[in-house]
Structure 1
Amino acid sequence: MKAPAWAHAPLEVSGNEAGGKLTGLYEIWHDKSGDSVLADAQQVYTNGGFHPLESAGSTGLRPGAFWSHFTLRNNESQSVKLHIEYVDHQLVGLQAFAREFASSKPYRQVGNLSIYSPFKSRQIEHNRFVFEIIVPALSTQELMVKFDSGELGVVFPSMRIWKPETLQRNSKGEISVLAFLFGGYFLMAIFAFVGAITVKEKILYFYSLYCASKIFVWGTVLGYTHQYLMTDHFHWSYASLSSAVAILTGLIFARTFLDTRCYTPKLDYLLQLMMVNGGFLLLCALLELKALSQVSMIIALLSYPLIVPIALVRWRQGDNAAAVFALGWTTLVLGLLLQAMRDLGYVVHSPLNYYWPPLASYVEMLAIMVAVGLMVKRLRLQKDRAEKKYLQQLEVSKVDLEHLVQLRTRELEAAKARAEHEARTDPLTGIYNRRSFFEESRPLIKLALRKHIPLGVLMLDIDHFKSINDIYGHSIGDQALRATARVIAQHVRDMDVFGRIGGEEFALLVSADELGAITIAKRVHGDIAKIIINSSQGPVQFTASIGVACLQGESDILELLQRADSALYMAKRSGRNRVIEYSAEGVGA
């Protein structure tokens, strides 16, 4: 079978190919469905359906698959083994077929590569697609190659031709350069993380995360994740997933670093929209929606340059670190712009523009690291200036400050004393409240029991107190309570405990024997009867009932009060206005 008259001339090859020679772009066919097989491509070729690629080397963002036809001529006297390398990384699958030029023999498959296949199944171990072909001496090989981009993608039909050993050396050189870049990313991430822990600046945590995302995205995009990590179950969505993570972390870092929420709130809304698109890209990658992922990725790359003017606005506001940040981000944007122009076919593919985006990203991270350092330095200088100003002010007003501190200390001590007094005393009468009465009484009783000191307790209740409130009003009732407390307080000694334990009930713990306690109770009883309170309805007088109990055996304040309360109850039952003593056999006046 002869080649069509319009077929392009064969490409001469030798055993010393060093990657500078490329397969042609003169015979290309776009299969929009992506379902074509070799027989379909042969039929289209025979019918003249293959045409030169009109772009600089890329098909642009299109769905389906592309077929390339070219011939390789070996004019040497011995056969030549060649490795044919696909120049980029954005390809789902590649199939290559070869046969003798213008022969009626069927094509034989020389390459069948897919990102979905385990990496170990590749004939040539390389992060990009590579297949091997042997061109016999003084012969021409005719090749058909299918480039599958999936639902929507970019294809570079032109491939590099290598001597196997030369390709291997070149790959080692590439890996060395990328290892340097990835090592730099890793060190920057570690240093930032350690610095964040040390100086406790959250921006360093975000920077560390952003650096780590660079390793993830470029390792995946360039094919090393498939080669070294996910060797068996790789998927195209991992590239979109890693890109989404890098975009999101970059936007979060930029928003935090530039503090747009505080200083440029209107521009901050734009950043938030970009972050929403980054989240949408992440969702599309997780759901394996390739077409939507590509569209979202384009939107993200087109909007990324908007960070630069936002950073320049912050610089104009006085943040010098934002200028360095803008420089670093501009470097990244130029790298991504060059990649986009190459992918769209406006720029010829070359090793320089292939590796420029990760290199530009590395330079960006270095510049941002300097910017972060400037920001941290600025914050530290602000802190130092504030501390210096504070110390100067402290020296100037030292005397006044000490006076204020002393004054404040006295106020606090007075407030504390008032609070303690209010917590321990009855607010109406100023004597101990119920809780304080019990707290003060318990140690006194323990001491009395240990040293056999006589103790007595008086329980006192104002007679008909409710009637005083009902007839004369609560104001007169309050005066009656205060007057009663004053009268009783006149009989209280240093060792005695006196408190109001109920509405009109008072308790007095006295250091006295049975006779002494009765004597005190009768005096208090007589003094209360002498109280006169003037009211609008005339003078008010009242009496009190008192129950007395003395410490007997092992008792506590509750038992003692219960006995006194029983005596008080008997005083009320027997007509009020009297003193009753509690005894085990009964009560007596």
Structure 2
Amino acid sequence: MAISRWALLLVLLIFPFGAFALEPIEVDGRESGDKLTGQSEVWHDPDDSQPLASIVEAYRDGEFGPLLSAGSTGLKKGAFWSHFALRNVTDSPVTLSIEYVDHQLIELSVFQREPGAASGYRPLINLSMNKPFDHRRISHNRFVFPVSLEPRQTREFLVRFSSDGAGFVFPSMRIWNPDTLRSNHTLETGSIAFLFGGFFLMSIFALVGGIATGSRTFYAYSVYALAKIIGWATILGYTHQYLIREDFHWRYMSISGAVTILCGLIFARIFLQTRRYTAKLDYVLLLMMANAGVLLISGLFAIKVLALVTITIALLLYPVTTVVGIVRWRQGSGEAAVFALAWSLLMIGLVVQAFRDLGYVEHNFINYYWPPFSSFTEMLTIMAAIGIKVRRLRQQKLVAEKQYREHLEQSRSELQQLVWARTRELEAAKRLAEVEASTDPLTGIRNRRSFFADAGLYLKLAQRKHQPISLLMFDIDHFKSINDNYGHSVGDEALRSFTRTIFEKTRETDIFGRLGGEEFGLLIAEDAQNARHTAERLRDCIAAIELEAAGCNLQFTSSIGIASWQPGISMETLLKHADRALYEAKRRGRNQVVEYQPETAAVEL
């Protein structure tokens, strides 16, 4: 070990302070961003605690090595150091602008030296997102620093890339002629301003549409468009450059990103009506919203690692929304197909960005600006989808108006009008009488007579189609004590709440009715196993009902008996079997689901 150290010292004496491990990058002052400082000499400081002297020693000891990824370090703690050299190949002084390629970096420190200089590395510049924007020598939304080289001069550089704890680092930096960089930045800023103007106009148009129609879809779209402006302006660095020039913090990017994702998911749920038509996928969207909520919290409390993890998860989960759009399109919603196309454009860009940040995809101009431009295209396409939806609703309205006019034209004569009016009155009276005769007045569902009539027809139809049938009988536990302790008005409200809960959790084809008192029946086209699952689900829903009574929250449970139809069994027999199972459920302590079994009379689930 001692011999190797003496050998290293001898080499350093012969070749003062570090002969280049790699050839310097030759520059002539005409660079247009196509040359990069490279990723061949990179070193990781896991704790971001090593002083410059230790970094120089690590470089001398050959600890710097190539970055083994497509361009990003991936999500890592600490800081990364990069070494490179620039050589002016001209006989004139050269001034360059070195630009960091991404917007996620928190701090950039640069040190320079001339090869062979005894003084070693000296600080050139320190750029930080947490400092006022005016401390930057070059006004740019990304980190840029100037470099000057004398004729034929070569300079070495050590650059520290810090993410303030943990983050994604792209060690490469672009080399520019200052005038070319300014022109390019003006073009970039103008293009982004065009996008933001488009977002703003779409937000205004949607707001006007919401005021005119009262549709939640327009309001949600308007807020979503505004969130896009705030999110992208902050993420790309323009908020720091033009608005919050003092006291800017990286958590503003997480907060704005979380708000944008939340607004997008809320709009998607409203536009696609996922809660109504795709309940299972709606739970996935709710999970994505919860992840965005965690991102928002991590931004508010400046939890850097959690923010980076949740934003990456959010980007990787974005394809789910496209799947939901495709499912709704297959269900018959034409505008959902356009929505799926729009979201796919955004989704591809964001997923590519996620893989780029993780180091699986090379960083370039296309995948850097793909997300904001695809976001703009997404909003335009969604606006078209909203237009398709509005057009469909308008056509439905025109059809309804045409039918109404045709109806009025048929009633020209006074006699026909009188006959028609009288006929309608009689029909209305008949329907009202039929409804009153078949409806329970308290709960609004079928009464006992109507339940048995509809259930009998349902049973015959199931027999012809060889479909399974199961009967669920409900009894509200200790209902008498509710009336005794809280009064009949509370008892009536308990019956109505019970009825609403069952009605909302069942299908329109199911037969549901009140058999008397606190007993109810539900006939469903399910076999015994699925009927048990349904009964347990409904029992949980009933137990979750809360009523306000006497200054406190009142909750109650229900016992459920199940009987499955077998060939040769009548509706009356099926009811007796379910009633026996219900009795057994109450005997076992209530709040139970019990299935009738011929062998054992009743067996607890």
Deviation at 1:212, TM superposition (A): 0.6
* Residue of 197, 212, 226 corresponding to 1:212: 226
User: Corresponding residue for 2:175?
Assistant: 161
User: Corresponding residue for 2:453?
Assistant: none
Deviation at 1:397, TM superposition (A): 5.9
Is residue 380 of structure 1 aligned with residue 394 of structure 2?
Answer: yes
1:206 partner letter? A
Gapped runs of 5+ residues in structure 1? 411-589
User: Corresponding residue for 2:87?
Assistant: 73
* Residue of 78, 82, 87 corresponding to 1:64: 78
Is residue 332 of structure 1 aligned with residue 330 of structure 2?
Answer: no
Is residue 281 of structure 1 aligned with residue 295 of structure 2?
Answer: yes
* Residue of 376, 381, 397 corresponding to 1:367: 381
Give distance in 2, aligned partners of 1:319 and 1:394. Answer: 32
User: Corresponding residue for 1:221?
Assistant: 235
* Residue of 287, 310, 324 corresponding to 2:324: 310
State the SS of the aligned residue for 2:96: strand
After superposition, the Cα gap between the structure-2 partners of 1:401 and 1:358, relative to the gap in structure 1 and judged at 3 Å, is: farther
Is residue 99 of structure 1 aligned with residue 113 of structure 2?
Answer: yes
RMSD: 2.0
2:292 partner letter? G
After superposition, the Cα gap between the structure-2 partners of 1:22 and 1:208, relative to the gap in structure 1 and judged at 3 Å, is: same
Is residue 90 of structure 1 aligned with residue 125 of structure 2?
Answer: no
Deviation at 1:392, TM superposition (A): 2.8
Give distance in 1, aligned partners of 2:164 and 2:24. Answer: 30
Where does 1:318-467 land on structure 2 (aligned, <5 Å)? Answer: 318-396=332-410, 402-403=418-419, 405=421
State the SS of the aligned residue for 1:126: coil
* Residue of 279, 290, 294 corresponding to 2:304: 290
Gapped runs of 5+ residues in structure 2? 1-11, 427-605
2:320 partner letter? L
Contact 2:141 2:236 in 1 (8 A): yes
Give distance in 2, aligned partners of 1:149 and 1:16. Answer: 31
Give distance in 1, aligned partners of 2:130 and 2:198. Answer: 30
Give distance in 2, aligned partners of 1:134 and 1:108. Answer: 14
More displaced 10-residue stretch of structure 1: 307-316 or 375-384: 375-384
State the SS of the aligned residue for 2:167: coil
Deviation at 1:69, TM superposition (A): 0.3
Equivalent pairs, count = 411
Contact 2:316 2:354 in 1 (8 A): no
Contact 1:71 1:101 in 2 (8 A): no
Give distance in 1, aligned partners of 2:147 and 2:311. Answer: 36
Give distance in 1, aligned partners of 2:370 and 2:267. Answer: 23
Contact 2:18 2:115 in 1 (8 A): no
What per-residue deviation string (whole Å, max 9, x for no partner) do you get for residues 146-187 of structure 1?
A: 000122211111001111111111111111111111111111
Deviation at 1:137, TM superposition (A): 1.2
Give distance in 2, aligned partners of 1:107 and 1:197. Answer: 63
What's the TM-score, normalizing by structure 1?
0.67
After superposition, the Cα gap between the structure-2 partners of 1:401 and 1:245, relative to the gap in structure 1 and judged at 3 Å, is: farther
After superposition, the Cα gap between the structure-2 partners of 1:408 and 1:327, relative to the gap in structure 1 and judged at 3 Å, is: closer
Is residue 145 of structure 1 aligned with residue 154 of structure 2?
Answer: no
Deviation at 1:323, TM superposition (A): 0.2
User: Corresponding residue for 1:189?
Assistant: 203
User: Corresponding residue for 2:471?
Assistant: none
User: Corresponding residue for 2:284?
Assistant: 270
User: Corresponding residue for 1:127?
Assistant: 141
What per-residue deviation string (whole Å, max 9, x for no partner) do you get for residues 302-359 of structure 1?
A: 1111011111111011100000000000000011122122212222222222111101
Q: Which has the larger radius of gyration?
A: 1
User: Corresponding residue for 2:601?
Assistant: none
1:285 partner letter? G
Give distance in 2, aligned partners of 1:404 and 1:362. Answer: 56
Contact 2:108 2:128 in 1 (8 A): yes
State the SS of the aligned residue for 2:198: helix
State the SS of the aligned residue for 1:348: coil
More displaced 10-residue stretch of structure 1: 395-404 or 195-204: 395-404
User: Corresponding residue for 1:14?
Assistant: 28
What per-residue deviation string (whole Å, max 9, x for no partner) do you get for residues 49-81 of structure 1?
A: 100111121111111110000000112112211
Contact 1:110 1:132 in 2 (8 A): no
2:178 partner letter? P
Deviation at 1:109, TM superposition (A): 1.4
User: Corresponding residue for 1:493?
Assistant: none
* Residue of 115, 140, 145 corresponding to 2:129: 115
Where does 1:169-188 land on structure 2 (aligned, <5 Å)? Answer: 169-188=183-202
Give distance in 1, aligned partners of 2:124 and 2:75. Answer: 27
Contact 2:19 2:115 in 1 (8 A): no
User: Corresponding residue for 1:516?
Assistant: none
What per-residue deviation string (whole Å, max 9, x for no partner) do you get for residues 257-313 of structure 1?
A: 000111111211111111111112111111111111111112211111101111111
More displaced 10-residue stretch of structure 1: 77-86 or 220-229: 77-86
Where does 1:245-264 land on structure 2 (aligned, <5 Å)? Answer: 245-264=259-278
Give distance in 1, aligned partners of 2:411 and 2:295. Answer: 59
* Residue of 286, 290, 300 corresponding to 2:314: 300
Deviation at 1:200, TM superposition (A): 2.2
More displaced 10-residue stretch of structure 1: 114-123 or 75-84: 75-84
Give distance in 2, aligned partners of 1:282 and 1:354. Answer: 23
Give distance in 1, aligned partners of 2:307 and 2:411. Answer: 65
Deviation at 1:386, TM superposition (A): 2.2
State the SS of the aligned residue for 1:150: strand
User: Corresponding residue for 2:591?
Assistant: none
Deviation at 1:391, TM superposition (A): 3.1
Give distance in 1, aligned partners of 2:346 and 2:127. Answer: 32
What per-residue deviation string (whole Å, max 9, x for no partner) do you get for residues 380-428 of structure 1?
A: 1122222222333444467666456579999xxxxxxxxxxxxxxxxxx
1:279 partner letter? G
What's the TM-score, normalizing by structure 2?
0.66
Give distance in 2, aligned partners of 1:53 and 1:239. Answer: 27
2:342 partner letter? G
Give distance in 1, aligned partners of 2:298 and 2:403. Answer: 54
1:171 partner letter? H
1:337 partner letter? V
After superposition, the Cα gap between the structure-2 partners of 1:401 and 1:129, relative to the gap in structure 1 and judged at 3 Å, is: farther
Deviation at 1:96, TM superposition (A): 0.3
State the SS of the aligned residue for 1:149: strand
Where does 1:18-37 land on structure 2 (aligned, <5 Å)? Answer: 18-37=32-51
What per-residue deviation string (whole Å, max 9, x for no partner) do you get for residues 537-556 of structure 1?
A: xxxxxxxxxxxxxxxxxxxx
Contact 1:83 1:133 in 2 (8 A): yes
What per-residue deviation string (whole Å, max 9, x for no partner) do you get for residues 101-132 of structure 1?
A: 23222222111000000001111111100111
After superposition, the Cα gap between the structure-2 partners of 1:101 and 1:370, relative to the gap in structure 1 and judged at 3 Å, is: same
* Residue of 57, 61, 69 corresponding to 1:43: 57
Give distance in 1, aligned partners of 2:335 and 2:424. Answer: 43
